Amino acid sequence: MSDDIGIFEAMHTCRSIRYLKPDPVPDELIHKILDAAIRAPTGSNRQSWHFLVIKDAATRKMIQSHYKRAFDVYVPMAASMPPREGVSVTAMDRVVKSATHLAEHLHEAPVLIMPLLVNEQGAVSGEGPLQSLMRKSIYSSIYPAVQNILLAARALGLGACLTTLHLMYEEEIAKVLGFPENVESMCLIPIGWPAANFGPVKRVPVEEVSSLDRYGRPL
């Protein structure tokens, strides 16, 4: 466990760790991760978030059951899509293998963190340009906090990954977890001691995913 790695090292080695050991994670580390999450920027400083920490075994199993159902629906569709240029079939096969493992063993992760959006005073309801702006602002505000969770976990030597498949059965899960009507799940982050290695995160080069002044103009 080490939290003295640099921010760029954390970013460059923050792989999605889908193979996690069932060993317990100390509460103080989870608190440290959440304390990092709430330091993230948020639109108008509304902080319209809540972080549900799930440790109960039966609850984790319930979520895994819904997650696996969603995974079984999603995989055939994803398999029919060609890999992005520059991403090898071998690399995609590794992703599918690890994703399958996560779907089958999600409940074995000792901690699940579920970032929630708290829709205060109907801020994301209604139609029109202003409502559209508010909706995008509030929804997008959760993800800097999510990235802080992932980076904090990496700094502490913990494995984690970001996933959203459980949202296919969001209503069923929300009912069991007791969400008020104005609260919705945005994603799910299983956390545990890694059973796979951290390492360089491979991505398409910057030059292929960036532009200057106009879309498509080389940087």
Full DSSP string of 7-28 = HHHHHHT------B--S---HH
pLDDT of 179 reads 98
**H or E element: which one contains 190?**
strand 189-192
Q: Which residues contact 202 (CB under 8 A, 6 or more apart)?
A: 91
Predicted confidence at residue 125, as pLDDT, reads 66
| Residue of 111, 113, 107, 117 whose CA lies nearest to 185 | 117
Which of 201, 19, 14 is closest to 99 using CA atoms? Answer: 19
What's residue 150's pLDDT? 98
pLDDT value of position 129: 84
Cα separation, 102 vs 149, whole angstroms? 19
Provide the residue-wise pLDDT of the chain in tens; the chain has 219 residues: 455 789 999 999 999 999 999 999 999 999 999 999 999 999 888 899 999 999 999 999 999 999 999 999 998 887 777 766 766 667 778 888 999 999 999 999 999 999 999 987 665 667 788 777 877 888 888 999 999 999 999 999 999 999 999 999 999 999 999 999 999 999 999 999 999 999 999 888 999 999 999 999 999
CA 167/CA 71 separation, integer angstroms = 11
| The CATH number of domain 7-82+89-197, selected from 3.40.109.10, 3.40.50.150, 3.30.565.10, 3.10.450.100 | 3.40.109.10
The C-alpha atoms of residue 39 and residue 2 are separated, in whole angstroms, by 20
- Residue 105 CA neighbour count, 13 Å, CB half: 18
Residue 119: predicted pLDDT: 85
Task: Show me where the domains of the chain are located.
Answer: 7-82+89-197
A 10 A CB-CB count for 183 gives 16
Q: How far is CA 194 from CA 16, 56, 64, 81, 216, in A?
A: 10, 20, 19, 29, 39
Enter the tokens of residue 19. 């193979």
pLDDT at 198: 94
pLDDT of 1 reads 45
Residue 134 confidence (pLDDT): 75
- Residue 81 has a pLDDT of 76
Which pLDDT belongs to residue 163?
98
